[in-house]
Amino acid sequence: MSIDKAQCGNWMLTGPQKEQISINAHDREILRNHAKRLRELAELPIQQEKVRLWTAHNDLQDTRPLIFIDPENGWNEIIPWDTLECEGELAKDWEMWLRKEVIWGEKMKDDRVQEAKFYLPYTAVDTEWGVDTTPEGMEGVESGGAYTFHPPIEDMETDLDLVKCPEIHVDEEATRMAYDLACEIFDGILTVEIRHKWWHSMHLTWDYSNLRGLENMLYDFYDYPDEVHQLMRKMTDGYKAKARYLQEHGYLCYNSNSSYVGSGGYGFSTQLPACGPQGQSTGAAMKDMWLFLESQETGEVSPQMFAEFVLPYQIELAEDFGMLSYGCCEPINPRWDYVKKIPHLRRVSVSAWANVETMSEQLGSDYVYSHKPSPSYLAVPQMDEDYIRTYIRDFLKKTRRNHVEIMMKDNHTLGKNPENAYRWVQIVREEIENMD
């Protein structure tokens, strides 16, 4: 299986370097044509209806269940990289982004909002924790190979000083060059905005497992409890310092808008500002923003152990933000009594490993119920449509009193059949329309 280049380390996430910011006349015409189609989709009345639904949904008003699908690595099978029309690497990256948006509007037809906008990240470098966590053999992953991971923190008693406070280095000149180029290319078609979408996520146990190794982390809770707290303290302080730096320098981007927040759903809400006073997309304060926290790496530890080693630090990180989206693949229901203590909690991930009915009772009408069905049923050449329909129908019956969104994610393949993605949305929508 190949890796989707539009998912992994591309310029739509990190920004191009100065020497790469150039697009020829051939590629400009292709990009403008895709942009024109995106604008046509953005001007359809359905887009404002979707904005209204997401806003009411996140404000905990009653709406129909909302639907989203991200093919993720399945984009390889929808838009293979070698089918892109542009010639330059930066142009290909921008073309991929535009074509995805068009497919979401033309074929996927979920509740993702298409806008007459083109979003760019800052060109930036994050030093992260000061140690190299790159697995051995990563150069072969794109062609379907495997890699080996060697955790950089080998000794909990001697190596913790290797972990440094992360720093963000923004290349203002390269960011402006890319912005000006995009404005020139999309002039009269799309509005260009800076939106860097990853700086509102804080993944403590993901980082811990990258520093120490997942198996080592689980043993550390027993073998090195004091050192675990030392490392969690260092990472919490590092995340807080990074967020303060971004806030003080005006780099935080508003995300109570069409920004994807958490592990599912969009940020629209009347309870946080969607942009700055003059409509700018940057310059947000933490209190204006959604934060995303999770701890899927500790999904199999006891709730009490989670409460001892993870929860206090997550509570501390959440305090400065306006709203919280919590959870990813971990089953939340065993630790719900602890998770609900985290401040500003609004959206809760209910994964395929969680108990649907228990979570329905626990969340009630006080939170957004963000359900993640298993993607395995889309990973085959021919889906079992009867099963999917039965599953969704049963799920909807069990969650009638919740503010439900159904998020199909973590698709590593669509069984080489892109129609699976489109058909899944259609089936879910039909079941929602047929709810008693």
Q: How confident is the model at residue 436 (pLDDT cuts 50, 70, 90)?
A: confident
pLDDT at site 141? 66
Pairing mode of beta strands 201-202, 191-194: unpaired
Strand partners, 345: 324
Q: Alpha-carbon distance 13 to 301, whole Å? A: 33
Question: Per residue in 359-379, pLDDT tens?
Answer: 999 999 999 999 999 999 999
The 3-state secondary structure of 361-404 reads HHHCCCCEEEECCCHHHHCCCCCCHHHHHHHHHHHHHHCCCCEE
DSSP string over 230-298 = HHHHHHHHHHHHHHHHHHHTT--B--SSS-B-TTS-B---SSS-SS-TTS-SB---GGGSEEEE--GGG
Q: How confident is the model at residue 2 (pLDDT cuts 50, 70, 90)?
A: very low
Average pLDDT over residues 315-337: 97
Helix, strand or coil for residue 120? strand
pLDDT at site 263? 92
CB within 8 Å of 285: residues ≥ 6 apart: 247, 252
The rounded mean pLDDT for the chain is 94
Q: How confident is the model at residue 3 (pLDDT cuts 50, 70, 90)?
A: very low
Backbone angles phi, psi at 325, to 5 degrees: -110, 125
- In the block, tokens 């228990």 appear at 358
Q: How confident is the model at residue 86 (pLDDT cuts 50, 70, 90)?
A: very high
Question: Per residue in 40-63, pLDDT tens?
Answer: 999 999 999 999 999 999 999 999
Question: Per residue in 100-150, pLDDT tens?
Answer: 999 999 999 999 999 999 999 999 999 999 999 988 877 766 666 788 889
pLDDT at site 9? 40
Q: Are 378 and 408 in contact (CB under 8 A)?
A: yes
What percentage of the chain has pLDDT greater than the value 70?
96
DSSP string over 94-116 = HHHHHHHHHHIIIII-SSPPP-S
pLDDT at site 379? 98
Q: Of 246, 141, 157, whose CA–CA distance to 194 is shortest?
A: 246
Question: Per residue in 384-423, pLDDT tens?
Answer: 999 999 999 999 999 999 999 999 999 999 999 999 999 9
pLDDT at site 10? 61
Q: Are 88 and 425 in contact (CB under 8 A)?
A: no
Average pLDDT over residues 285-300: 97
Q: Of 250, 245, 241, 265, whose CA–CA distance to 323 is shortest?
A: 265
Based on C-alpha coordinates, what's the Rg of the chain?
22
